[in-house]
Amino acid sequence: MKGIKVLATGRYAPDNLVTNEDFTKIVDTSDEWITTRTGMKIRHISDGEPTWMMASKAAKHALDNAGISAEEIDMLLVTTVTGDFYSPSVASMVQREIGAFHAFGMDLNAACSGFVYGMDTAYRYLLTGAAKKVLLISAETLSKITDYTDRSTCVLFGDGAAAAVLALGDGIYSSYLAMDAHDAHVLYARTHDNLNPFSTKGTQHPDGFTGAKDHFLYMDGRAVYKFAVKAMPEAVERAVEQAGLSLSDIDYIIPHQANIRIVQTAAKTLGLPMEKFLINVAEYGNTSSASVPLCLDEYNERGTFHPGDKIVVVGFGAGLTYAAAVFEW
């Protein structure tokens, strides 16, 4: 069985930094509440940068680090819930910007599990030989779907993008991807309404998604929290087991950076020390699918990983999706 090789990583986050203190000026909150409930301190918020631009900057950074040109990429896969257009895809916009004109491409929406779903999708294309090098990019501008009058959500989200150049390798690879839509209504953002001139009935198909204001992201925080503390350990355990490993073989776990308390609870459930979990939630907040690769790239840049290290990436989010993958550095 072949594994997946991360040839290089890269990232981009807007320069515009928003602190917990900044939120106290727009909603009734405090640095103390945000810090103790989430572990967040600052987020990077778009100052006009669209998703495709952040994605392209992260992609260029990863290609530079890999020392390869954009023409060498066969497949451009972008994970996002915040594309700039219904069509074309962010992948298409990235191709235009970076000149990866030998690649086919598409976007993938698995919400905050996006990077893990994307890595797994890339692996399948690599295995068949349909692609030899995949540029996987996770890019999000959550600020455009955040309701900045809702203190229970607005303090949580940030913007950013990160990328990985992937190829087949000799190490281990295994994954566990899951989705349970029973509670999909606890976390969502709706697209615009269908106002076509030929419709006489308006919206006739109630879907149970009723909490949101306009097209903003709605989240029942307690329900998502309950789901997350169960889903994250489950996905890790299943992926590790499928790899024929035990949890003690794992060197690092890179979790979706939604809330430090969720990670601490998952660590306890798994019986693993927090030192194995790589964290950067304080500097980025929750950037949906970009959060895992932003963390991967930061620690990669610091020289954290060594050949043979066994790494788990794990995400959870709208859908409700959850997923983990194990790979060797």
Which phi and psi angles does 301 have, rounded to 5°?
A: -60, -35
Q: Does 92 participate in binding ligand ACO (rule CB under 6 A)?
A: no
DSSP state of 46: -
Q: E strand or H helix at 137, and its extent? A: strand 134-141
CA 77/CA 176 separation, integer angstroms? 19
CA 201/CA 33 separation, integer angstroms? 45
Task: Tell me the sheet residues that pair with 327.
Answer: 173, 311
- The nearer residue to ligand ACO, 311 or 318, going by C-beta atoms, is 318
Residue 225: CB minimum distance to ligand ACO, A: 4
| 47-55, 83-91, 230-238, 256-264 -> range binding ligand ACO (CB under 6 A) | 256-264
Residue from 122, 317, 323, 324 binding ligand ACO (CB under 6 A): 317
From the CB of residue 256, how many other CB atoms can be counted at a distance below 10 Å? 31
Please state, in angstroms and as integers, the Cα–Cα distance from residue 208 to each residue in 48, 115, 143, 182, following that order. Answer: 33, 28, 25, 11
Q: Does 259 participate in binding ligand ACO (rule CB under 6 A)?
A: yes
Which residues make Cβ contacts (< 8 Å) with residue 205, sequence separation at least 6?
Answer: none
Q: Does 3 participate in binding ligand ACO (rule CB under 6 A)?
A: no
Q: Does 29 participate in binding ligand ACO (rule CB under 6 A)?
A: yes
Helix and strand numbers, DSSP H then E, in the chain:
10, 13
Catalytic residue flag (residue 295)? no
Q: Does 209 participate in binding ligand ACO (rule CB under 6 A)?
A: no
Residue from 224, 270, 292, 326 binding ligand ACO (CB under 6 A): 224
Q: Which of 18, 80, 40 is nearest to 259 (CA)?
A: 40
The residue sitting closest to ligand ACO, measured at its beta carbon, is: 221
Residue 29: CB minimum distance to ligand ACO, A: 3
Residue from 16, 33, 68, 169 binding ligand ACO (CB under 6 A): 33
- The nearer residue to ligand ACO, 56 or 291, going by C-beta atoms, is 291
Say if residues 127 and 88 touch (Cβ distance below 8 Å). Answer: no
Q: Which of residues 34-63 bind ligand ACO (CB under 6 A)?
A: 34, 37-38
- The nearer residue to ligand ACO, 38 or 95, going by C-beta atoms, is 38
Please state, in angstroms and as integers, the Cα–Cα distance from residue 111 to each residue in 65, 66, 145, following that order. Answer: 27, 27, 13
- The nearer residue to ligand ACO, 174 or 257, going by C-beta atoms, is 257
Catalytic residue flag (residue 256)? yes
Residue 234: helix, strand or coil by DSSP?
helix
CA 271/CA 282 separation, integer angstroms? 24
CA atoms within 13 A on the CB side of 156: 21
Residue 157: CB minimum distance to ligand ACO, A: 6
| 49-57, 119-127, 215-223, 277-285 -> range binding ligand ACO (CB under 6 A) | 215-223
Provide the CA 253 distance to its chain's centre, in angstroms. Answer: 14
Q: Does 215 participate in binding ligand ACO (rule CB under 6 A)?
A: no
Residue 317: CB minimum distance to ligand ACO, A: 5
Residue from 3, 99, 169, 221 binding ligand ACO (CB under 6 A): 221
Determine which one of 256, 280, 295, 300 is catalytic.
256
Residue 176: CB minimum distance to ligand ACO, A: 19
Q: Which of 95, 15, 102, 5 is nearest to 55 (CA)?
A: 95
Residues noted as catalytic:
112, 256, 286
Q: Rule CB under 6 A: which residues touch ligand ACO?
A: 29, 33-34, 37-38, 112, 151-152, 155, 187, 219, 221-222, 224-225, 228, 258-259, 262, 286, 288, 317
